[in-house]
Amino acid sequence: MYPYKVSVVQQLYPLDFGKRIAYCQWFNAHMDNDEILDLSFFSDEAWFHLSGYVNSQNYRTWSTENPHEFVETTLHPVKVRVWIAMSRRRIYGPIFFEEHINARNYVQTLLQPFIEQLDDQELTRGYFQQDSATAHTANLTTRFLEEHY
């Protein structure tokens, strides 16, 4: 017997499959153009717990008997969020912040300073990849990116 963990994935709709295939084919066709990786920025953020917090979903103990292990933690562990954007030729960030992100502070704290650092070529010919977190897909964020990027 082995322990198995359920994977949680983003729900895909029938139209998503064709869009994903089309994007992969387009990106693959441009891989011969070395410049695309210089102009493609990939971004993400993650929480880092500062108190030794352990996410029990990612922690496994293998044993023949239950070791009854536990890790004590505070009710609200201290943590910091780190955001970064990177292309093949450079890294923007990391930016550290403690508050939860919403569309307004995502645009003001992260996107606006990021875009101000881009050169003309990155702004006019670049690509920006982010996940589908609510702050990333909000109308305010989408409008800002359409106007400035």
Place domain 41-148 in its CATH homologous superfamily. Ribonuclease H-like superfamily/Ribonuclease H (3.30.420.10)
Give pLDDT tens digits for 123-148: 999 999 998 888 999 999 999 999 98
**CB neighbour class for 109 (10 Å; exposed up to 12, middle 13-18, buried from 19):** middle
Q: Which residues of 68-100 are buried (b: 16+ CB within 10 A; e: fewer)?
A: eeeeeeeeeeeeebebbbebeeeebbeeeeeee
Residue positions counted in the chain: 149
* pLDDT at residue number 82: 94
Give pLDDT tens digits for 85-100: 999 999 999 999 888 8
Range 61-66 average pLDDT: 80
Give pLDDT tens digits for 8-62: 777 889 999 999 999 999 989 988 877 888 999 999 999 888 887 777 777 777 7
